[in-house]
């Protein structure tokens, strides 16, 4: 995914992950992850090459490749693939995502 597409996909949206956790991404680079009623605040960014990075204080950092989650030919969310071990997880957009469509 390109830098521009990743920023558009993540700015001011919420994702609901397959395990029921929710993550909100704010335009200012902050993020809140809520699992079982417990919230954790972190930071996110996208590098020029489109690589997504997250930081969870005090010391956890991770980087991921992003791809669209597509169902019935419509973009419904994102899949994150870890650069460390190639594991992946997926979430569906909970908030409207105007302008997000399949790349041509």
Predicted confidence (pLDDT) per residue in 22-46, tens digit: 999 999 999 999 999 899 999 999 9
pLDDT of residue 9: 86
pTM: 0.82
Please say whether the beta carbons of 46 and 78 come within 8 A: no
Please report the pLDDT score of residue 61 as a whole number. 94
Q: Which domains does the chain have, with CATH numbers?
A: 3-93 (2.40.128.640)
**50-82 pLDDT per residue, tens:** 899 999 999 999 999 999 999 888 888 999 999
Instruction: Quickly count: other Cβ atoms within 10 Å of residue 85's Cβ.
Output: 7
């Amino acid at each position: 995914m390109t830098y521009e597409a990743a920023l558009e996909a993540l700015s001011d949206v919420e994702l609901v992950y397959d395990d029921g956790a929710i993550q909100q991404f704010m335009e200012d680079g902050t993020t809140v992850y809520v699992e079982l009623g417990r919230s954790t605040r972190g930071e996110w960014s996208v590098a020029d090459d489109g690589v997504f990075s997250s930081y969870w204080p005090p010391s956890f950092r991770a980087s991921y490749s992003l791809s669209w989650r597509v169902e019935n030919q419509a973009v419904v969310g994102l899949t994150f693939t870890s650069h460390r071990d190639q594991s992946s997880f997926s979430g569906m957009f909970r908030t409207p995502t105007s302008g997000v469509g399949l790349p041509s």
